Amino acid sequence: MTHPLPALDCQTCGACCASFRVDFSITESEAEGGSVPRGLAEPLTASTCRLRGTDHSPPRCAALTGRIGEQVACAIYRWRPSPCHEFEAGSDACLRARRRHGIDAPDRP
- Measured from the CB atom, the residue of 1 and 9 that comes closer to ligand SF4 is 9
Instruction: Please list the residues that pair with 73 across neighbouring strands.
Output: 65
The strands making up 41-43's β-sheet, listed across from edge to edge, are 23-25, 48-51, 41-43
Q: How far is the CB of 13 from ligand SF4 (least distance, A)?
A: 3
| For the chain, the helix, strand and coil percentages under 3-state DSSP, each to the nearest 5 | 30, 20, 50
Report in angstroms how near the CB of residue 30 gets to ligand SF4 at its nearest.
13
Binding part of the chain for ligand SF4, among 25-33, 42-50, 61-69 by CB under 6 A, reads: 61-69
Contact present, 48 and 31 (Cβ < 8 Å): no
* CA distance to 3, 25, 29, 37, 41, per residue, from 32 (Å): 44, 10, 5, 10, 11
Question: Is residue 97 at the binding interface for ligand SF4, with CB under 6 A as the rule?
Answer: yes
52 binds ligand SF4 (CB under 6 A): no
Among 35, 55, 64, 108, contact with ligand SF4 (rule: CB under 6 A): 64
Tell how many helices (H) and how many strands (E) occur in the chain.
2, 5
Q: Is there binding between residue 68 and ligand SF4 (CB under 6 A)? A: no
Which positions lie near ligand SF4, rule CB under 6 A?
8, 10, 13-17, 22, 51, 61, 63-64, 74, 76, 80, 84, 87, 89, 94, 97-98
